[in-house]
Structure 1
Amino acid sequence: MIKIAKLPYILPAIFLFVFFITLNNTFASSIQNRYLLISVDDETGRLFLSTIDGKPEVKGDEKKNLLFYDKPPSSYTLVYLDDDILTFGSDYGRFNPTIADSHSIKLEWIYQYVTITQEIIFVKRKNSGIEDGVLIKYSAKNRDVHPHNIGFRVLFDTYLGENSRYHFGLSSGERLRGEKIFDGRNIPDYWISKDVKGVVCLRGVLKGSAVTTPNRVIFANYKALSENLKNYYVRRSRDFDYPPYSKNDSAIALYYDPLVVESGKERSVKTILGLCSKEEYEGEKPLIVVAPAPQEKKTLPMEQKKQKKIVYHIKDYKEFKSEMSNIANLKEEIRSIDDLLKQINTILEKRDSGQEVDVEQLKKIEKMISTNDNGD
């Protein structure tokens, strides 16, 4: 007798079949190995990344989205060219034919006197030799006779952390559930994004010999980043919501500031996305919670803790009371200034997003400023 498979086993198979058929119809170029699949949209050059079998020692991370899947994909790159901001793959330029093999995809996009090349290559992990990462490289060649300023912003619309309390983890041990900016020496070595069960895990490398460290890294709401093409003002009190348009939708933006590229020269930036290592899965590093509007607590060294207590004698009491009164007044002034800055920041955000600025709010701010001036 021929036995028919139970329905719960048939439905996932049908889903996976339809999923990969859809990919083949939507994307012109895809490469995959036993760990990962990366695809490039044929019209926009945008990226999508998912697992195939995932990590061999991990069960449950097979065929999982690592970046958000859309048509076209929502992860994309901006090119800063002098005073212009260009979206890589937009209709303002044109594509050369894609060059692809089983290991890499190369796509050239030409805009006026600049050729932007996007290269995607499978890379191995140093410790294990497992090819569970992809190097993403952007190169800009100046074909003009004049020098030009060229920079990049690479935006990854992450998928995994949005059902978790914490959207991102960092090499420092921090976990993020609100937006944050890193620059200079503060940029972490890498970031990770996990699903709610902690089984599926994406890792992005920011430092090391194989990558180009960005000038800035911003974790924020995807729609907010996509609408602010060059300058995004981070507020630590803001989470990954962007009401009323977008809720709990996080992304990461890598900013490579413009540099002068001489005639005939080229500028390149590189980053790596891949699966997390075993150590990160097991959480060997202690994690520090970084929440919106955190209250930082500093741990004093033992020698500072042992400092002699300050004792106020009766004769010093009047002076002590006067000092306490001055401190209280200073706190009130700081609160007023902080409130003023918050209101100014709100107006700037409305202006940047094209919303109408409240005249009454402007009058209130003017009154606060004049009050402070009179008090000086």
Structure 2
Amino acid sequence: MQKSSIKIGVLCMILLLSFTITAESQIPRAYGQGDGVMNMKNDFIEIVVNTSDDATGRFAVLTTGGDPERTDDDNNFLIYGLGKPVTSYTTIRIDKTNYVFGGQTSKRAGLTGNYGKVVTPPVQRQDGIYTAYLYGDVLVEQILDLTFSTTTGQPDTAAISYVVTNQGFATRDIGLRIVLDTMLGNNDGAPFRVRDMAVVSDTMFAGDDIPAFVQAFDDLLKPAVMAQGNISGPEVSRPTRVYFTNWGSLADGVWDFNFQPGRDFTRTGEFDLDSAMALYWDQEPLRPGESRRYVTHYGLGGISIAQGFLSLGLSSVNKVEMAVNPVPFDVVGYIQNTGDGIAHEVVAKLLLPEGLKLVTSTNEKFLGKLQPGESTQVVWKVVPTGKAFGSMKMSMEVDAANVELNTVSRNIEVTTPAKLGLSLSGPTRLNAVEEKIYPEIFEVSGTIKNDGGSTAYNVALSLDTKNFKLAEGESKTKFLLSLPPNSSQSVTWKISTLPEPGSMYPSGKESVTLTAESTNAEIPNQKELDIQLPNLEPKLWMRSVYPEPRVIADNLVLYIDLMATNITGLKDFKIELSYNPKILQFLGWRVGTQIISQDNDQLKRGSIIVSDPYEANKTGKLIIEGQVMDMASIAGSLAELKFVIADKGLTQIDFKSVTLTARDRVVNAVGFEIDVR
């Protein structure tokens, strides 16, 4: 008996001790830098990143002060991470291989995944906590930062971003999955609130069914922490699929996982409720040199609450932006029977101000009866009308046959539309240097300004260069993503003045045109920049190859290029030059650039015949006859001529006769004057 009683006593002590540890373990401790973690925080929330050797780069999110109007949500988890965060993790799928972001782990979450090489361990930067890893030739960067909530309007949300860059030479199929081990203080199994659904079992949303946001809280009388994840919208990347399930299944499957619709959130292999969510961006090709950004937000949610027999909650974005084609947004109403009896014939009604209207046909929702403790939720699609702007109030009234009316109100700001304007600057005149337009590359700068009250999204600037062409590596269209109110942004294009092969330089007055697009703003008036260009005529002329004559064997030798510029379709030529042999003595020649062409890495040379120097110097007449091989070029030399300076005096090398086979019928031939002193 004594032995048995001892066993029972020990067992009871163990159970009591185990319970105590479990309860206390959910309370976040105070994190400190250099404690195997790195953190950034404000008065609302804190982001904690694991810097230890196990699961480097993984993160947790918790409240600091939380909602400033409440004290019961301080120092609670939003994304779990007791000690050093390990349970939330990200998978990068490259072709058919799954890689886990960050350092290797000995823990359950992501244990079976492949891992890469660290490029930059967690480091605090101006844009947040930055970590980078390399997976073969694919660079993945994680940036965690604090941002503003769409429902509270406060900086109480974690922005979770990944940038994936293909640094290789082959296109790769890239996908991304983010697993968030969600938690509400000590509640690890609270339902996810999605539109008019309370999700308490394995559920998936895809395509158009993906909500703008998901919220989580336990009850309206004492909601503890109110969490919110922004899944789609202008500041986040809409995933392909979103799953709500138990954390154990997601921990064990680094991409595919055990998903059973209708199964509750009991952790796989254990007995506790443990909810989690996974956001999938399915694989898409990523070409060499390209980058792709994935962004999601998770933090505190904004819910206006009115308590009573029927306790109410009302949630929506805190700011809506008027646009050309305004996007409807969700207004979610929560109703919970917190009384001691059944509420019969419950009806919820949404009341909207002048600046908002329903997309759906009715503002009433008939909910039937609610048992004590039972809760439900409703959703309306609402859109701004453009008839009123500024701060306004919307309300939800809930009535029942046997319960008095209760009302909850929520303020929302409707901003004026984005108003875009353009300006374009650059040179208004280009000059000619050696029968070419100079400079060969010039820049123009386009600026877009938003003078409206709303952010302009998916902004793109395009430059039409007409008879010019963009410099190598330039893109006609440049994307700015978003442009906040009362801000501007400039971009620059490099433009080449070189004509297409076989074409002439443009002349006279040319222009470039700047246009802009945005998905939610009116298209602004285009801007043109007129540029005056020189008129370049077909011409034969000569130039000195070097600034000064060269000394060869005690002789001063003058090198002269015989140039043919802006002559289209030049095939062959016969040119007779005259010069004074008393001052200049023809020494020799070298083939010009237009006599040679390159085809498939092979050089081809046309025929060329030049007078013998001895015969030429007798008469002062020099004949050059040849075939042009580089017919696509409109500027180059036909021959390089060498003359020995024999005496002092003023002389000239003149064109005596010219015969060309070309499309241009009139070609100006200009001689070359030499003053030897």
Tell me the TM-score normalised to structure 1 length.
0.66
Match of 2:138 in 1: 114
Partner of 1:74: 87
Tell me the amino acid that sits aligned with residue 34 of structure 1. D
1:182 — aligned with what? 205
Give the unaligned 5+ runs of structure 2: 1-24, 105-114, 307-311, 315-331, 337-360, 362-677
- Tell me which of 206, 220, 236 is aligned to 2:245: 220
Contact 1:158 1:193 (C-alpha < 8 Å) held by counterparts: no
Structure with the bigger percentage of helix: 1
Contact kept? 2:159, 2:298, Cα under 8 Å: yes
Task: Name the SS of the counterpart of 1:203 in structure 2.
Answer: strand
Contact between 2:191 and 2:198, CA under 8 Å: does it hold in 1? yes
Does residue 256 of structure 2 align to residue 231 of structure 1? Answer: yes
Residue of structure 2 equivalent to 1:275: 300
Cross-structure match for 2:607: none
Cα shift at 1:259: 0.8
Out of 44, 53, 60, the position equivalent to 1:48 is 60
Note the 1:58-137 alignment, pairs <5 A: 58-70=70-82, 71-91=84-104, 92-95=115-118, 96-101=120-125, 104-125=128-149, 129-137=153-161
Specify the alignment match of 1:344 in structure 2: none
* Structure-2 residue corresponding to 1:26: 36
- For 2:264, what is the secondary structure of its paired residue? coil
- Quote how far apart the aligned CAs of 1:58 are: 1.8
Q: Retained in 1: the 8 A contact 2:127–2:143?
A: no
8 Å contact from structure 1 (residues 121, 136) kept in 2: yes
Which structure exhibits the higher relative contact order, with contacts defined as CA atoms closer than 8 Å and separated by 6 or more residues?
1
Give the letter for the 2:244 counterpart.
F
Q: Given the alignment of the two structures, is residue 252 of structure 1 paired with residue 265 of structure 2, yes or no?
A: no
Cα distance in 2 for partners of 1:279, 1:148 equals: 46
Deviation per CA, 1:92-140, whole angstroms, max 9, x where unpaired? 3222143314761111111221110001121123576421112110111
Identity of aligned residues (%): 27
After superposition, the Cα gap between the structure-2 partners of 1:126 and 1:216, relative to the gap in structure 1 and judged at 3 Å, is closer
Decide whether the 8 Å contact of 1:174 with 1:288 is kept in 2. Answer: no
* Structure 1 residue 194, shift from structure 2 partner: 2.1
Go from structure 1 to structure 2 and tell me whether the alpha carbon gap of 1:223 and 1:125 turns closer, same or farther (over 3 Å shift): closer
SS across alignment from 1:218: strand
Aligned equivalent of 1:339 = none
| SS of residue matched to 1:19 | coil
Amino acid at match of 2:124: A
2:46–2:61 contact (8 Å) kept in structure 1: yes
Structure 1: give runs of 5+ residues left out of the alignment.
1-14, 290-300, 302-376
Secondary structure at the aligned position of 1:160 is classed as: coil
1:262 aligns with 2:287: yes
2:33 corresponds to 1:37 = no
Give the whole-Å Cα distance in 2 for the aligned partners of 1:62 and 1:242: 26
CA distance in 1, matches of 2:151, 2:199: 27
Does the 8 A contact of 1:133 with 1:273 survive in 2? yes
Shift of 1:179: 1.2
What is the rounded CA distance, in whole Å, between the counterparts of 2:28 and 2:181 in structure 1? 23
TM-score w.r.t. length of structure 2:
0.38
CA contact (8 A) 1:32 1:102 kept: no
Q: Could you tell me how far apart the structure 1 residues matched to 2:218 and 2:251 are?
A: 23
Q: Secondary structure of 1:207's match?
A: coil
Q: Number of aligned residue pairs: give it.
A: 274
Q: Counting strand residues as a fraction of each chain, which structure ranks higher?
A: 2
TM alignment of 1:321-360, pairs within 5 A = none
Give CA deviations for 1:217-253 in whole Å, capped at 9, x if unaligned: 0000111122223234543331112453352111000
TM superposition shift of 1:195: 4.9
Q: Give distance in 2, aligned partners of 1:274 and 1:193.
A: 10
Distance 1:229 1:21, change over 3 A: closer
For residues 266 and 25 of structure 1, what CA distance do their matches in structure 2 show? 33
Deviation at 1:150, TM superposition (A): 0.8
Residue 168 of structure 2 corresponds to which residue in structure 1? 144
Q: 2:181 aligns with which of 154, 157, 162?
A: 157
- Could you say which structure has the larger radius of gyration? 2
